[in-house]
């Protein structure tokens, strides 16, 4: 193997053709540093969304004496989880390719009491002028075949760093308490059976999802009746958003 000029930057990989390729220690550290900075941008974007939701929640409490948000949870994918997804999707290590193709690195889940709150919060968040809607999947208007319901949105959030502005995608999921309870149980069952769930359990899960949807509708009707609120129709069919 030829010697490397001491003044040249460390190569990303060491090894000859046909040899087992290994990454040098210096290159590994540099790659790790770049990955941590990359994920930090997603953490900042996630925090921006959390701040916007916190402002909306506080404003509702003080102005409308009503809190439409039951709770908010968030996470940024770990390096291991991200690498596994890149491998499954056949995406390389170029960070711009990752940003363009993987949109759930940062995720925020908003749990509301009622479906009307889901759509109201979605509209209030996505209509802010620094938010760009990239994609929406409305599994409330059109539930998945297994009964899963939630409103998923991929939004682009500006993050202002010392090096300038970066627009970062964040996945935001809106769901009711009943939807969240069902999804949590379904996730535990699928994890236990390594996603090979028996047909009998799949059918029971669908029945439970239908019951949860009925409970959602019934509790919302009671809420509307008690507080004298106008009826709000849940959207049906696809919603159109700017690309």
What is the residue-averaged pLDDT of the chain?
84
- Cβ contact 144:137 at 8 Å: no
Catalytic choice (41, 171, 186, 220):
171
- Cβ contact 125:108 at 8 Å: no
Instruction: Go through the domains of the chain in sequence order and give each one's CATH number.
Output: 26-177 (3.30.460.10)
The mean per-residue pLDDT over the stretch 189-216 comes to 82
pLDDT of 156? 97
pLDDT of 11? 37
The mean per-residue pLDDT over the stretch 26-42 comes to 84
pLDDT of 23? 65
Q: Rounded to 10 degrees, what is the CA torsion of 14, 15, 21, 23?
A: -10
31 to each of 60, 94, 181, 202, how far by Cα in Å? Answer: 44, 11, 39, 43
* 86: CB partners within 8 A, 6+ apart: 92, 93, 98, 102
For the chain, give me the number of helices (H) and strands (E)? 6, 7
For residue 204, pLDDT beyond 70: yes
Query: Which stretch, 1-5, 49-53, 144-148, has highest mean pLDDT?
Result: 49-53
Instruction: Clarify whether 65 is annotated catalytic.
Output: no
Q: What percent of the chain has pLDDT over 90?
A: 59
Residue 116 and residue 184: Cα distance in Å, rounded?
A: 21
For residue 102, pLDDT beyond 90: yes
Confidence band, pLDDT 50/70/90 cuts, at residue 18:
very low
Eight-class DSSP state of 103: -
């Amino acid at each position: 193997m030829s010697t490397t000029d001491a003044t040249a930057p460390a190569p990303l990989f060491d090894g000859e053709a046909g040899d087992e390729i290994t990454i040098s220690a210096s290159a590994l550290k540099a790659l790790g540093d770049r990955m941590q900075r990359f994920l930090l941008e997603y953490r900042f974007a996630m925090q921006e969304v959390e701040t916007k939701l916190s402002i909306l929640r506080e404003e509702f409490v003080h102005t409308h004496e009503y809190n439409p948000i039951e709770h908010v949870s968030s996470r940024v994918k770990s390096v291991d989880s991200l690498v596994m997804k890149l491998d499954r999707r056949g995406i390389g290590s170029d960070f711009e390719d990752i940003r363009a193709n993987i949109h759930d690195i940062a995720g925020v889940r908003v749990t509301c009491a009622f479906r009307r709150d889901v759509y109201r919060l979605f509209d209030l968040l996505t209509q802010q002028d620094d938010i760009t809607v990239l994609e929406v999947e409305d599994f409330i208007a059109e539930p998945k075949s297994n009964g899963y319901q939630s409103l998923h949105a991929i939004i682009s959030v500006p993050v202002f760093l010392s090096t300038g502005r970066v627009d970062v995608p964040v996945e935001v999921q809106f769901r009711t308490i009943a939807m969240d309870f069902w999804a949590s149980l379904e996730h535990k069952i699928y994890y236990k059976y390594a996603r090979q769930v028996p047909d009998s359990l799949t059918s029971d899960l669908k029945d439970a999802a239908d019951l949860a949807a009925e409970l959602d509708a019934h509790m919302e009707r009671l809420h509307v009746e008690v507080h004298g609120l106008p009826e709000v129709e849940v959207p049906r069919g696809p919603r159109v958003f700017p690309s």
